Amino acid sequence: MRIVGDGVWGEPKDAENSKRVLKRAVDLGVNFFDTSDAYGPAVSERLIGQALAPYPKGVVIATKGGLTRQGPGTWAPLGRPEYLIQQLELSLRYLKEETIQLWQLHRIDPKTAVEESLGAMRKMQEQGKIRHIGLSEVKAPEIERARQVVDIVSVQNRYNLGDRAHEDVLQYCEKHRIAFIPWSPVAAGKLAKPGGVLDAAAKKHGATVSQLSLAWLLQHSPVILPIPGTSSVQHLEENVRAADVTLNDSEWAEIEAAAKS
């Protein structure tokens, strides 16, 4: 999302920098990239295809379909089968793939039954154009309904230290062994204030608050796969180092207590 223009719209100011960020991520061992046909639109997928294809072994490119764009910061769901199929074909073209390893329904369209939307993508899966299917920004009953149509392997919802509104969805995913992909993972709200418990823990570890936020997610659940976005190589490297940070029991308890206060 961050490698395109402002408002997730149009071309980035420096396309070569965006490509450097992507290539450096692979060099650092990052093997999961999350994008969408709506980022740009089409710009993010195209840059990923240009920078990384043919993809190194083990690298998974996940994309999404089902949101249309009318301008910077503007989004509207559209889940008609013919539209989703069209966008899938474009994603394959831009990403230079024969099969999308993980395709996710970006939003459930309130005007289209999810059975119609996912039924079409199940056919694409049967044709070998999609390997796995996931959902984005859904509630547990919606996941349950979707699973009656197709196997759901991942759920992507907003979730972070300061926003746990989807805790029940995370628990559902843990129970059914579904990957949970939190977007906006480094937001921590009031916990990120200078001098706060998160700031203190970060300084103790020689880390940033953002790194602590990612470390917390990685320790919070075995099904969590954070997707911190960036347009900077320096910020990318900082994010990746979060995997080396481990919170001890007392730090964990302090952060949880602060989150509940």
User: Rounded to whole angstroms, how far apart are CA atoms 20 and 171?
Assistant: 37
Q: Which residues are catalytic?
A: 39
The 3-state DSSP class for residue 75 equals strand
Which amino acid, residue 152? I
Both tokens of residue 102? 């993980």
**Which of these, 253, 238, 248, 161, lies nearest to 207 by C-alpha position?**
238
Instruction: Kindly report the length of the chain.
Output: 261
User: Rounded to whole angstroms, how far apart are CA atoms 196 and 177?
Assistant: 34
The 3-state DSSP class for residue 105 equals strand
- Strand (E) or helix (H) holding 63: strand 60-65
C-alpha dihedral (111, 115, 117, 120), degrees to nearest 10:
-150
